[in-house]
Structure 1
Amino acid sequence: MSQSNKKITITDVAQHANVSVTTVSLVLSQKGRISAQTIARVQKAIDELGFVRNQTAANLRTQSTKTIGLMVNNKNDFSTYRMVAGISDVLEQNGYMLYLTQCGQNAEVYDQKLLTLYQQGVEGIIMSPIDDQHLLSLRKPESFQIPLVCLSSAKLDSDIDYITPDNTHSAKLATEHLIRQGHRRIAYVGGTTGSPCRDERIASYRYTLSQYGLPSKQEWILDGDFISEDLVQAVNMLLTEQTQITAILCHDASSALSCINGVRKSGREIGKELFIDERVALISFDDSEQLMLNHPSLTCVYTDPYSVGESAALRLLDSIRNPSDSDHKSMLLPAKFIHRNSA
């Protein structure tokens, strides 16, 4: 039977299946004790009439919108795509839709868009800070009565649940790997002074060196946020003046690319073979398509952004389903060691 020229209602389905509207509603919501035969009859009526459930109306009746907000800054990179994919996959598997918005680098815009997501009736929000300084100031708005999860780059002293890579363990893995390969003078390049993520990694890097009785000098630690000629030149000068350095830990993909150019500008090459052709080993705390395709490809110690997204979505769903569990929870995600040709 076709009734394509009129909107099919739940009442039409009930009449067609010769059951009550309540029975159809229970079948659609998969609630109540309905016999298999009745369910089959209702489903047959739905198929024959071409009924499409009005999910918005159903959500209003159950006080559930089945929507989640995601706030990210304007990073259109490999890691962001992977992270969003992890969030989206988990939410879709659990019957939720994702509202995605970008905030740029303005804190006022960030706050306004966060409020807009809340006003749209989302059941929870996953949020990514603008930068490290914003990360330090994040607090859950007192007026928000929904769960929030922060995609943090470091441990967060806040009342917001957060998911973060285990920076301490990552730096230990990377530093110990280089030490076992015979490196005794290891530098750290990239990041901004005062960055919580950078501070955690450098503290672990220095502590690991001290455990093996190896030095860590302040002049072997270079700042630098993005790919820049200044950072390239700083790496060049470091290796020219400190010829004993044979390995570098790179804060992120941008720092790694600057290190590659800086190493080559100093007249040295990149590679794992210690003391052969004056090579310098590199390990990145980030990954990108450029690092994979670089020659030599770069060894990485990093947390897969997809697993970060999955973990954030699962944590938020758990908070939605268990609203009485108000304890603040955080999650440190382990790093993966991706062994390539640079170290």
Structure 2
Amino acid sequence: MRFLNVLSTGQMVTIRDVAQLAGVSVATVSNTVNDPNRVSDALRERVLKAIETLNYAPRAAARSLRKQSSGLLGLIVADITNPFFTELVQAVEAIASQHGYSVLLCNSDEDAVREEKHLQVLRSQWVDGIILATTGEASLSRTSLLSQSRVPVVLVDRAFDGLGLDAVVLNNRLAAHQATQHLIHRGHTRIGLLSGPTSVTTGADRLAGYREALLASQLHFEPGLVREAGFREQQAYDATVELMRLPQPPTAVFAANNLMAIGMMRALSDLGLRCPDDVSVISIDDFAWANVFRPRLTTIAQPVREMGEMAVKLLTDRIGGKRTGTGKTHFLESRLVVRESCAAPMDAPLPIPATSSP
């Protein structure tokens, strides 16, 4: 992760800050940087120490001021351990490089407060624009940061309503409908859902798509078959154990992202349940590990590279003035990847006793 020179106050370090810390004139700092032979060894040592302490990058800063551009884009992701975001980072960095930009990467770890701090720091570092995969939980201070940002912001994967920002997202309702419908077509009527937080657009929309698919097939929506697992592996593990201990457990489970699919598969294995013989499994996000599982995991694939490419294009168009006015949300389509983890239901599995120790 790359950072520019910023004071604790959030302001960019200047040559005057270096001069003040070193106890010398601005001219002495300038000479030390540009013509060191004109400065005594003692003064030069003091200035260099101050430059190191403040992490001052005079030439880069000067170029930024002359060009009115830093050549930097900020990228904030919600969870760098999630293979989806890892792939998104690779896509954004590759496309940004083609446009002549370097990328500053920040990880919020699904923490709204940390995300807000990252936004403040990136704004203070004179990045030319920010791509944000938000935690999705709205707050007045963060909404203000985004709506009043002096640099363009493009949302990716998750959106905020009402801010007028460009956003690139999956058609999450359709993706969840597609996943649930695939299980219904296999003959399942009791389908569990491991959902993300409904405070996040991806969580809310995937829950809505799941529910709509059930109702479209005249199946009853049962809230008891839904567990919010926070898009996290361990929470999904625990939620899967809960579902399988129900008096009438589901014969199939839809995980709303890849990390939850990993937690679910681990839980099923620890519970002694076979996939797909006892429980069919499907998830959103196609990732390299989907082929490592046995059985191989059926997924709903997102066009991650296209998502990153479009986000960078929208952002650079904003930076260059080619795109102005209120932003819009761009929806991308998903793709069903059929592998081995879904089958027709056999006899409904017996509930797992609460005394079991996975």
TM-score by length of 1: 0.71
In structure 2, relative to structure 1, the CA distance for the partners of 1:334 and 1:81 (3 Å cut) is same
Alpha-carbon separation, structure 2, partners of 1:136 and 1:284: 33
2:298 and 2:339 in contact (8 A); partners too: yes
Q: Which residue of 1 aligns with 2:212?
A: 207
SS of residue paired to 2:244 = helix
Deviation, structure 1 residue 158: 2.3
SS of residue paired to 1:202 = helix
Query: Which amino acid letter does the alignment assign opposite residue 313 of structure 1?
Result: V
The answer on 1:235 being equivalent to 2:243 is yes
Q: Which residue of 2 aligns with 1:133?
A: 137
Query: Which amino acid letter does the alignment assign opposite residue 325 of structure 2?
Result: S
Q: Which structure 2 segments of 5+ residues have no match?
A: 1-58, 343-358
Q: Which residue of 1 aligns with 2:307?
A: 308
Alpha-carbon separation, structure 2, partners of 1:135 and 1:253: 27
In structure 2, relative to structure 1, the CA distance for the partners of 1:234 and 1:160 (3 Å cut) is same
SS of residue paired to 2:307 = helix
In structure 2, relative to structure 1, the CA distance for the partners of 1:135 and 1:184 (3 Å cut) is farther
Query: Which amino acid letter does the alignment assign opposite residue 203 of structure 1?
Result: A
Pick the aligned partner of 2:128 from 120, 123, 133: 123
Q: Which residue of 1 aligns with 2:257?
A: 252
Give the structure with higher Rg (CA): 1
1:71 and 1:100 in contact (8 A); partners too: yes
Deviation, structure 1 residue 259: 2.6
Alpha-carbon separation, structure 2, partners of 1:247 and 1:104: 29
Query: Which amino acid letter does the alignment assign opposite residue 264 of structure 2?
Result: C
1:150 and 1:161 in contact (8 A); partners too: yes
Query: Which amino acid letter does the alignment assign opposite residue 137 of structure 2?
Result: Q
In structure 2, relative to structure 1, the CA distance for the partners of 1:323 and 1:120 (3 Å cut) is farther
Q: Which structure 1 segments of 5+ residues have no match?
A: 1-53, 272-277
1:139 and 1:159 in contact (8 A); partners too: no
Count of aligned pairs = 280
SS of residue paired to 1:70 = strand
Q: Which residue of 1 aligns with 2:330?
A: 331
1:84 and 1:306 in contact (8 A); partners too: no
1:87 and 1:309 in contact (8 A); partners too: yes
Alpha-carbon separation, structure 2, partners of 1:187 and 1:281: 10
After superposition, the C-alpha distances for 1:172-218 in whole angstroms (9 at most, x for unaligned) are 11122222222233221243354432221121211122112222211
Q: Which residue of 2 aligns with 1:17?
A: none
Deviation, structure 1 residue 79: 1.9
Alpha-carbon separation, structure 2, partners of 1:167 and 1:136: 26
Query: Which amino acid letter does the alignment assign opposite residue 217 of structure 2?
Result: Y
Deviation, structure 1 residue 312: 1.1
Alpha-carbon separation, structure 1, partners of 2:287 and 2:207: 22
Query: Which amino acid letter does the alignment assign opposite residue 227 of structure 1?
Result: E
